[in-house]
Amino acid sequence: MMIIDFLKGFFVGLFASIPLGPIGIVCIQKTLSKGRFSGFISGMGATMTDVLFAAISLFSLSIVQVLLEEYRNGVMMVGGLIVALFGARLFVSTPIKQMRRLQDNGSKNYIGDFFSTMLMTITNPGAFFLILGLFTFIGINTSDSNTLDFIAITLLGVFTGGTLWWYSLATGINLFRNKIRLRQMVLINRVAGVIVIVIGFCYLIEGAYKLLRGIL
């Protein structure tokens, strides 16, 4: 039974990570510009947020769920702004400066990679409702009767599924890293930045539209 619970959590973590949104684009860009571990750590920021959202669902923290639902549009607007600003930063970044900072600071850069994607994910209410929807689809119980053993093994599955996806993505993209020249890397930064900015503004506009529609 524990194996089944683990596998259910595993597929939730995997399916929550696969959609190529802003986090996936950032993971690809970080891998190409700074290396596989940077891309992997960027993805893990999103995975840890998915585990947090899964824990909220499994512990039946109804207050948090109600607050997320009630302020969903406002949170979406803030999250969209954060994503757009991150995309702008990505757009103006240069590979040479990134390489120099990586050499000077070493592993300190990875902390920023982790928390930047974690912030992007935690301010996206859609990520929480995706986890909740996947729980329902896969058949994971989110009632008050959940035991600590069930919650722990399910969260471990969510973590493992997300980790496997981001490691596989970063490893696969890293195979092409040495084949990309500096000029191409600059272009990739620009394109990735524009895509992330557009996604951020879509979140922002959608949140503002729904908020105004609710008021009017």
Percent pLDDT > 90 in the chain is 29
Contact 83, 26 (CB under 8 A): no
* 147: phi then psi, degrees, rounded to nearest 5: -90, 160
Query: What is the average per-residue pLDDT within 153-169?
Result: 96
3-state secondary structure the chain: CHHHHHHHHHHHHHHHHCCCCHHHHHHHHHHHHHCHHHHHHHHHHHHHHHHHHHHHHHCCCHHHHHHHHHCHHHHHHHHHHHHHHHHHHHHHCCHHHHHHHHHHHCCHHHHHHHHHHHHHHHCCHHHHHHHHHHHHHHCCCCCCCCCHHHHHHHHHHHHHHHHHHHHHHHHHHHCCHHHCCHHHHHHHHHHHHHHHHHHHHHHHHHHHHHHHHHHC
The per-residue pLDDT for 21 is: 81
- Compute the mean pLDDT over every residue in the chain, rounded to the nearest whole number: 83
pLDDT in tens, 171-193: 999 988 878 776 777 787 788 88
Query: How many domains in the chain?
Result: 1
Nearest Cα to 183, choosing from 102, 91, 97, 95?
95
CA-only gyration radius of the chain, Å: 18
pLDDT in tens, 35-67: 899 999 999 999 999 999 999 888 865 566 666
**CA trace torsion 122, 101, 193, 179 (10° rounding):** -120
The per-residue pLDDT for 65 is: 62
The per-residue pLDDT for 41 is: 95
Domain span including residue 33: 2-215
Contact 185, 62 (CB under 8 A): no
Largest CA distance in the chain: 57
pLDDT score of 98 more than 80: no
- The better pLDDT of the pair 72, 197 is held by 197
- The better pLDDT of the pair 168, 214 is held by 168
